[in-house]
Structure 1
Amino acid sequence: MGSDSVTDAVGAASRGSILFMDDDGDIREVTAELLHEFGFAVVLAEEGSEAISIYEKSLVDNAVFDVVILDLVVPKGLGAKDTIARLHKLNPSVKALVASGYSNDYILDNYKEFGFCGTLVKPYKFDELLDAITTLIAR
């Protein structure tokens, strides 16, 4: 990723900009491709530390993401819970969704307590993802 890739990607969005973090490369790529087709700029992260670094750069570049989507469980890095806590320190008004395949997880059931604006249960349908994003951007 080049030094101004966040600014370029966010600036290219017609419907909004998304920071999408998931440890599964296939999910990252397919989701990014679909969101691009619907007019969103998407920047990808594999785990929370990378997402935090990208988000920090977006703040410096004055190109803050419209929505951040964080995978709850990331075996080899920071997951959503720790990541959202750090993002809130950077920007208390960050708009974030938590995504997980564990539909009965405490964090999903109490997402607002952790600083999330909504949830996505995997495997989610693309229209569910799109609805969640557009609803959050409209807030």
Structure 2
Amino acid sequence: MMEMSISTPRSEGTTFAIYLPSVGEKSIAQSTYKETMVTGKQKNGYILVMDDEAFIRDLSIEMLGFLGYRVKTCIDGKEAVDLYKAAKVEGNPFSSVIMDLTIPGGMGGKEAAQLILAFDPAARLIVSSGYSADPAMDDYESHGFCAAVVKPYKVEELAKVL
């Protein structure tokens, strides 16, 4: 339970106490941080995250950074393909690429995956979507992906997939 009190600056008026129940899940710090520190599972690698939602990109940076990865983000498939090629040519390749399936008004994950795989058949691509019913999420390997992760991400799931 969490308690929050609200009162006026002069301590006059009414005070409210709001009690919020726990959802019963461990926090990121309780579950993954402890495992990372105790077992020494800190990761090394460079991950590219392609998603049109700023919230998801920011969340990815936090979660993957927490797991020990360096992270770069981009908005659409065209940018992901360009970044992937540039990093590979510069000798600083991405370990994996997490790609959103659907990018409104832009190149999505399926098309970008095909272009990256044409350039680098060994690329490790992970499909991502908030729509778990999409056929590409169930049959990700036939689309060139090596794994799938459902949004919103959970640290434990990202750690397992990577």
Describe the SS at the equivalent of 2:84. Answer: helix
CA distance in 2, matches of 1:114, 1:84: 8
Q: Which runs of 5+ in 1 are unaligned?
A: 1-13, 134-139
**Equivalent residue for 2:10?**
none
Tell me whether 84-93 or 104-113 shows the greater mean CA deviation.
104-113
TM-score (normalised: structure 1): 0.82
Q: In the alignment, which residue of structure 2 is the partner of 1:118?
A: 147
1:30 deviates by: 1.8
Find the counterpart in structure 1 of residue 71 from structure 2: 42
Which structure is larger by alpha-carbon Rg, 1 or 2? 2
Tell me the alpha carbon deviations over residues 66-125 of structure 1, each in whole angstroms, 9 at most, x when there is no partner: 111000111021111000000001100000110011111111121111100010112231
More helix by share: 1
TM-score norm. by structure 2 comes to 0.71
- Structure 2 residue runs without a partner (length 5+): 1-42
Aligned partner of 1:66 among 84, 95, 112: 95
The percent identity for this pair of structures is: 38
Q: State whether residues 56 and 152 of structure 2, in contact with CA within 8 Å, keep that contact through their aligned partners in structure 1.
A: no
Aligned residue in 2 for 1:107: 136
Taking the aligned partners of 1:81 and 1:119, their CA distance within structure 2 comes to: 12
Deviates more, 1:106-115 or 1:32-41: 32-41
Structure 1 residues 1-139: aligned runs within 5 Å: 15-133=44-162
Q: CA deviation at 1:34?
A: 2.2
Aligned residues: 121
